[in-house]
Structures are given as C-alpha cells and as structure tokens.
Amino acid sequence: MKELIQARFDPAVFLAQAGLGRRVVQVKPKRPFFSQGDPADCVFYLQSGRAKLTVISKEGKEATIALLSAGDFVGEESMAGTPGLRMATATAIAPCTALKIERAEMIRVMHEEHTFSDLFLKFLLERCMRAQADLVDQLFNSSEKRLARILLLMAEFGKPGEPETLIPKISQETLAEMIGTTRSRVSFFMNRFRKLGFIDYNGGIKVHKSLLNVVLHD
C-alpha cells in the first residue's frame, strides 16, 4: 500500500526562498522598501542587512521610530483587516536582501501553517513589547541612557548567540531623532563613550559590553 507523505512545513525554508506570491529583492542603502502613503499590499522579511522606519509629519518634520535587522518583518501593518496605506517609510541603511511576500500569500500561509502563524505572532508581540519599552525609556531615562540603549539594541546584545558588535554607519542626526535630543548632545555622548572605552567608531560603530554600565547605572 502506498502512503502519501506530506513534507513538513518549515518556516525558515519558506522565508529563505522565492515561490508563489513571494520573491527575493535587493535594496541598496538609502533606497526605500516602501514609502509613507503607499498601498499596504505586502510584507517584507529582512534576510540580511539593516533598515529603519521613519515617519513624516504634515509640517515636514521627519522622525526615526525603529531600526530593523535580519529576522525582522517589515510592513506588517498590511495584515490589518482592511488594507490601507503605509503609515511609515522603510529605508535600507545597509545593503539589504529581503523576501517580498504578497498580502494574499501571507494570509494563506498564516491560515494553513500554524508554525508560521506562531512565528509571526511572536514577532508582533516582541515588536509591541519593544514599543512599550521605547516609550518608558523616552519618558523616564536620560538622553545619555537612551543613546546607550539604542546602540546596545542595534548591536543585538541580549539576543541568542554572539552580538553583532559592529554597527553599520548611522548618522548622528538619525540617533538624535530616535532618542529625542539634538545632534550636538549625541556627539557629546558618543565622544564620552569612546573616551571611556565603551565604543569605538571610525565609519561604523563597534559596541563593547561595558556600555551596559551606562544603562544599568542609576
């Protein structure tokens, strides 16, 4: 008797390869994945590289609200019940490779494959917790602590495995936007961190574990 064996679905394989309703795209530094106001019709999965999310007010003021790295989904708002418009712009900081997944395909695989929907839900919960932590950080911590925390997050301290201690080049203006201070203050703190041996930078930024002392010190 012949038995039909169905291959087990592997989310890692699905997110690594092109297929029906999904394709691999390359995004150069400073180029957008999508822009604020575009139709929210797909989700990107960042396979490699770094990106940032920015929003622009009606007055033209721009703010960076999140930094993204490999393993993050980008544009998850397209999975809302009613498709709408992008509320932010996603831009590559470093050369990026991403899987572009059409909304219909994303919905299909979430309904049919529980291992994938579990993975996506875990990402959404982590993103929500990060947003709450960012708000608490903004309300209660000094700008120096906020800068140290952002650098540690970019270096992926606290994630499984070895941290990516070398951060791609990022402007002090962007860092200032993220922590809600001025570029001159960021420059002051960066020089201080370097003198204390917490970081090294020459183009890119190398973060040392000792930078945690700034965040943990009261």
Residue 161: predicted pLDDT: 56
* Integer Cα distance of 170 and 141 in angstroms: 22
Which residues, other chains included, contact 114 with Cβ-Cβ below 8 Å and sequence gap of 6+? none
Same fold, 11-135 and 142-216: no
Residue 134: predicted pLDDT: 84
* Integer Cα distance of 131 and 28 in angstroms: 27
What pLDDT, in 10s, does the model give residues 81-125? 677 899 999 999 889 999 999 999 999 999 999 999 999 999 999
CATH number of the domain located at residue range(s) 142-216 in this protein: 1.10.10.10
In the structure, what pLDDT confidence band is assigned to residue 4 with cuts at 50, 70 and 90? very low
Token pair listed for 81: 């019940």
- CATH T-level assignment (fold) for domain 11-135: Jelly Rolls (2.60.120)
What pLDDT, in 10s, does the model give residues 185-216? 999 999 999 999 999 987 678 898 899 888 87
Domain ranges of the chain: 11-135, 142-216
Residue 187: predicted pLDDT: 94
What pLDDT, in 10s, does the model give residues 21-72? 999 999 999 999 999 999 999 999 999 999 999 999 888 888 888 889 899 9
20: β partners:
none
Kindly report the three-state secondary structure assignment for every residue of the chain. Answer: CCCCCCCCCCHHHHHHCCECCEEEEEECCCCEEECCCCECCEEEEEEECEEEEEEECCCCCEEEEEEEECCCEECHHHHCCCCCECCCEEEECCCEEEEEEEHHHHHHHHHHCHHHHHHHHHHHHHHHHHHHHHHHHHHHCCHHHHHHHHHHHHCCCCCCCCCCCEECCCCHHHHHHHHCCCHHHHHHHHHHHHHCCCEEEECEEEECHHHHHHHHCC
The structure's pTM equals 0.81
> What's the whole-number average pLDDT of the chain?
88
